[in-house]
Structure 1
Amino acid sequence: MNKIEIDINQRDFCYTCYRPSVSCMCEYINKIETKTKFIILMHPKEFKKTKNGTGQFTKNTLSNSELFIGIDFTNHTKINELLEDSSNDCYLLYPNETSLNLSKEKIPSEKNIVIFIIDSTWPCSKKMIKSSKNLQKLKMLSFDADKLSEFKIKKQPNEYCLSTIESTQYIIELLNKQNIENIAKEELSNMTKPFEKMVEYQLECLKRRKDPRYKAY
């Protein structure tokens, strides 16, 4: 696993959401308890640009979740323990021709469901899967998004692409419909609150920078 270094020389830092303290979004985190275990696999490049990343928000929101940073997870002890546990049914959120579409199909399992979600760009995600032989063996999941991403400060590669926290929220909504989860609608709708507030903050920063009266120090 790659060694990750955090540059906090210039500003105070929040070690929970890994954002500068001035833009910390932890007050908007609403903890959610799920039966499903979520594993967020974050590419090192994504970690370095956490000012816009939502993988950490996802991990901080879901009590039954873990986040690992790296590219090649082939020999990752914790991940392999989850994969080798016969009581688990593990899936990777990654659309392809053979993926199980949660919008149309139900997960056919009575075991503990573990869903791996890659937090990265599409090109980097492909590299992570290609490098991680254990991830290649996982059953794939997908879903049909009927809404556009609210990530207004970042251009998505396709209109159907959602951020990590939006995708995870969508998955939980579908698991609710399948009676695999039983998360209250209001509780689930608040899941993306830190993401929404982060987008608002970034948009306000952009607005200020365009204002001729604004002077950066």
Structure 2
Amino acid sequence: MLTDASMEPIVHRERCYRCFRPAQTCYCRDIIPVRTNARFIFLLHPREALHQRTGTGRLTHLSLPGSRLFVGLDFAMNAELMDLVFNDHFQTMLLYPGSSVQTAPTINAAATQRDERPYLFIVLDATWHLSRKLLRLNPWLEQIPRVGLAGVYRSSFRIKRQPGFGYLATIEAVCFLLREFEQEKLIRLQTDPAKLLLVFEKMVSVQESFIQGRGSPYRAPTNPPE
């Protein structure tokens, strides 16, 4: 026997199929394109792709015209991706910490001759645990020189507890990378990369209001004193 409750229609929330967020929290109209001659490839872990509420990789991708985003675990058989990565037209670098990581100032200081090829930055968008898994599943990434940030920055990701001081959201890391490479005149920018942080700050503020509105025991992550 059907009850009144069982006959109630199932309500599906409208979703934006560009940013994959619910329509009420879609940030596409707030995105300001950041134009640069540097190229970006985002490798998104499938689990991260399902958590678009606080994920910033797709948001960063949508903010960078010409960037590419691939979702998966093992990318070695993706011919399109491999053609992009191992292309002599680019100076390809992996944005990831490591013992032999380079920064914009060290690259500039070590250069004996200016390489005019545009940079292609590969960015892993996942939690730190899952990003290490992506590295293990994609040994070809070990062939790519690593790049990091010269400065130490405080994250504004108030709704997400970071592993420690200096850990950043993907969109923050890309913003500061662009700024440092432009300061060393290694890339060209037509837009201030700080524009990336405007939509990020709005996302954080909206999620913060949702958390506080439903009485969640949310506590803002604390950073160590400077």
Q: TM-score, length-normalised on structure 2?
A: 0.84
User: Taking every aligned residue pair, what percent have the same amino acid on both sides?
Assistant: 28
Are the aligned partners of 2:46 and 2:72 in contact in 1 as well (CA < 8 Å)?
Answer: yes
For 2:106 and 2:78, the matched residues in 1 are separated by: 32
The count of residues paired between Structure 1 and Structure 2 equals 202
Cα-Cα RMSD: 1.8
Which structure would you say has the larger Rg? 2
The reply on whether 1:193 has 2:195 as its aligned counterpart is no
Q: CA deviation at 1:177?
A: 0.6
Q: CA deviation at 1:182?
A: 3.3
The reply on whether 1:140 has 2:142 as its aligned counterpart is no
Q: CA deviation at 1:129?
A: 1.1
Mean Cα displacement is larger for which, 113-122 or 125-134?
Answer: 125-134
The reply on whether 1:209 has 2:218 as its aligned counterpart is no
- CA spacing shift, 1:22–1:177, aligned 2, 3 Å: same
For 2:214 and 2:184, the matched residues in 1 are separated by: 46
For 1:179 and 1:141, the matched residues in 2 are separated by: 16
For 1:200 and 1:133, the matched residues in 2 are separated by: 38
Q: CA deviation at 1:207?
A: 1.4
Runs of 5+ consecutive residues of structure 2 not aligned to the other structure? 1-10, 217-226
Q: CA deviation at 1:103?
A: 4.9
Partner of 2:223: none
Q: CA deviation at 1:143?
A: 1.2
Paired residue secondary structure (2:194)? helix
For 1:103 and 1:47, the matched residues in 2 are separated by: 33
Are the aligned partners of 1:91 and 1:141 in contact in 2 as well (CA < 8 Å)?
Answer: yes
2:137 to 131, 150, 155: 131
Q: CA deviation at 1:136?
A: 1.8
For 2:144 and 2:128, the matched residues in 1 are separated by: 18
Paired residue secondary structure (2:209)? helix
Partner of 2:77: 75
Are the aligned partners of 2:104 and 2:186 in contact in 1 as well (CA < 8 Å)?
Answer: no
Paired residue secondary structure (2:214)? helix
